[in-house]
Amino acid sequence: MTANVMVVVERQFDYPRPLVFRAWTEPAEMARWRGSPGWHVETETVTSDLRLGGRHHHVKVRDNDPTTRVTTDAVFTEYFEPDVFVARQRITGDPGIDPDTPLELRVEFTKTGRDGTLVRIVQGPYDMEVAGYHGRGWERELDRLDTYLAGDPA
């Protein structure tokens, strides 16, 4: 089957755009919230060269089985702080993603109201059978981001 489905997820945050953008791009901050419940990002694996052509890397690990690891390697193809970044990704270790088929991740940060930020994630292409699973994963990660931004260390 051909991967041809894009996942689109949006979430409104009651925090200023520079703060939300930094949480997505600074390695120390990313490691504190990325990963769906039951997963975590190994802090020492997060690297980001925040510029056009810069590379990004991180490893997510299943909490109850540290041998289950999903690795993301990416190159920024667009980078405009604090508006948007786009990365071409190679993801290995996820049985729903073909590591030989690159994904594109686009994350937009739109100022709303006085200090709000609308985050819009577009990622794919996915096979139709796994797109919903990955969309729900992004929703869970955004829940964790909201908790992190609110100052809850959980």
DSSP 8-71: EEEEEESS-HHHHHHHHH-HHHHHHH-S-TTEEE-GGG-EE--STT-EEEEEEEETTEEEEEEE
Q: How many angstroms separate the CA atoms of 71 and 57, rounded?
A: 7
Is residue 20 one of the residues assigned to a domain? yes
- Domain CATH for 95: 3.30.530.20
The pLDDT, as a whole number, for residue 154 is 46
Q: What is the DSSP letter of 3?
A: -
Give the range of the structural domain holding residue 41, as residue numbers without chain letter. Answer: 5-149
Is residue 113 one of the residues assigned to a domain? yes
Is residue 105 one of the residues assigned to a domain? yes
Is residue 136 one of the residues assigned to a domain? yes
- Overall number of domains in the chain: 1
* Residue pLDDT tens, the chain, 154 long: 567 899 999 999 999 999 999 999 999 999 999 988 899 999 999 999 999 999 999 999 999 999 999 999 999 999 999 999 999 999 999 988 999 999 999 999 999 999 999 999 999 999 999 999 999 999 999 999 999 999 965 4
Is residue 154 one of the residues assigned to a domain? no
